[in-house]
Amino acid sequence: MISITASSDALASLGRRLREARIERDEPMRVFAERIGVSVPTLRAMEQGADTVAIKHWANALWALDRLHELSSVLAPSLSLLDRARLEQQPRRQRASRRRV
């Protein structure tokens, strides 16, 4: 399997933030794992940034932390290359100069 360093680093960072959020809420691993429907070893793997954890477990963890809405920004629709080129070609509106009395 190919390992991309940037994605491994991102998962490790996400795992650290998950652990910090869990600790900030003062929840033991066993309790938090139970809330999101995983075993303690799976939660430990998530907190270590393992790439083998199913995305649904991450979604459950975000839900438990009241942050599931943040998942909607992942791969949010953006302007296509063609749309951006069209916007650049449109003339820009200029503000009317202020009239001084």
Within a domain: 81: no
Q: What is the pTM of this model?
A: 0.72
For residue 2, what pLDDT is reported?
Answer: 63
Within a domain: 53: yes
| Tens-binned pLDDT, residue by residue, of the chain (101 aa) | 566 889 999 999 999 999 999 999 999 999 999 999 999 999 999 999 999 999 999 999 999 999 999 998 888 878 788 888 888 887 777 777 776 66
Within a domain: 52: yes
For residue 17, give the CATH number of its domain. 1.10.260.40
Within a domain: 45: yes
CA distances from 82 to 60, 73, 75 (A): 37, 22, 18
Within a domain: 11: yes
Within a domain: 101: no
Domain total of the chain = 1
By the 10 Å C-beta count (0-12 exposed, 13-18 middle, 19+ buried), 73 is classed as exposed
By the 10 Å C-beta count (0-12 exposed, 13-18 middle, 19+ buried), 15 is classed as buried
Parent domain of 27: 5-70
